[in-house]
Structure 1
Amino acid sequence: MLNQTLAKFRQVPRKVCRTMWDAMPTSVAQTPLMNRTGRFLYRRFTRDTLKVQTHFTQFMRNPPLLDALKQIMARDSSSTALAVASIGCSTGAELYSLLYTLRSAMPGRTIIGVGCDLSPEVVRIAERALYAPGVPAADGALFAAGRPEIEEDEISALNGIVQQQADGTCRVRDFLRHDTSWFAADAIKDDILTSIGPQDLVLANNFMGPMDDRSAQLCLHNMMRLVKAGGYLVVDGVDLDLKTRVLRDAPFAPILTNLREIWGCDGSKQGWPWLRWGAEPIDTSEPDWRVRYTIIFQRLR
């Protein structure tokens, strides 16, 4: 009883601060001073709480990001096959969305896709490529399922990616499943490097945030090592202090294409600084703001 009382007492400052924060006009809340205040609140009250890993994913989750990757990868005039990987791929919606975007834009180019996740259950779902509208495919998997990959009102908009079956389910189209493989692996361990091999484009989104700092740093270094020289790393949903510290002096250049649109697109990332997964507002007064807020990075060597 005493421990429960103390726990509730420790939440009082957080609740008071949040009430005051939510009452502020937007014009005040988005100033550099309040951004710095928000970062203090995040580090003090939020950063080390609510570390919940989920399989949350959906098709076409961030169209500005996919559009930026299409622009960037289309500049490569090489005729060799393009290797793209989604690490922490969950049930496959992110990788299939990327493959749809790239293969539609570059129909004559061979694009090899690979997805991997810690959970064998979601890897099997991704490989099966069959989704029931309104039902999360990852129910019963390693982590919480999150939202459905497809909602009923999204089916028509996703017609290029999925084809609705007679029973109402949606199957990913054959041209996206072709040259695409899936396997279970732990992104923190070094064997992922030999299992996948060097990639032209690596997606590493929304799975490092709930990790402890040591694990997240090991994982991020592995993701960086997966990228070929001249290739691209896409990293989101990771603690921004850790990301900045690791990438600031690394041989990776931030790519600013569609930066603000990408940063503000994902509606699931509301609630900063009170929710760990909330998106911190872009603050260009930060010395390292390009590294801090950029999601796409190019490996220089």
Structure 2
Amino acid sequence: MPDFDRLRSIRAEHPELIGDALRARSRRSLFGDDGRLFIVAADHPARGALGVGSRSTAMASRVELLARLAAALDRPGVDGVLATPDIIEDLAVLGALEGKVIVGSMNRGGLQGAAFEMDDRFTSYDVPSMARDGIDVGKLLLRINLDDSGTAATLEAAAAAVTAAARARLPIMLEPFMSEWREGRICNDLSTDAVIKSVAIASGLGASSAYTWLKLPVVPEMERVAEATTMPTLLLGGDPVAGQDETFASWETALALPGMRGLVVGRTLLYPDDDDVIGAVDTAAGLVHASAVAQQY
């Protein structure tokens, strides 16, 4: 069990040790020998998204979330974590990030369910802070709403972040969606054509795309999506809507496509239906890294 008493003590009495823990951690190359990455995501709480399936407050306990993350990160084949600074710093103090890839979430301002949800401005990491703390990859959510004039400012801010990341030689992962308001809620269009359109828009952002990666949903006709970009692409797990076996099968099929470099999955694995975190994580890790081996032959 992680030492939460020590974590609380450091946060209260020695906050300077938090940055020290991040900067002193052992680091690794981004991709292993198989050229794949399996990242566990935990950036949902900062957007006020605490629910998983029918459990509306599943992620409300920070202690439980950290325990699940630490258990996942300890499994073979799990390469790293995606999260906001608060969770990254907790994990660093707990010693769970040694030799792991850290993906820093940059924007969580568009809180789930808020009237300003489309105004997902940058409220977490920025490029200078990631460079300072040794964060390996940046990540930004890019929801594009053609009926919301605020999207123009979002695109401009995202382009500036891509330019700054390229200047710092920091990989930056864009998660684009075509989005719209439906009955007072923001919904992402997960049709194949909409995902391809979002890829085209995201790919053109910034003064250089040299360090741009993509994080994309698994949708029907995924081979068309794979053909829409030459950028390194990780597949996102998304909200758990299908059965676990069906979800794993869809990931396995998509991972076999050209350019697909791995998975970024959060709630589906951290809070599986049967609550077997280790089993779910091990299955997903096997899909990511076994797929790369199969492609060599």
Shorter-normalised TM range: 0.3 to 0.5
Larger Rg: 1
TM score, norm. by length of structure 2: 0.33
TM score, norm. by length of structure 1: 0.32
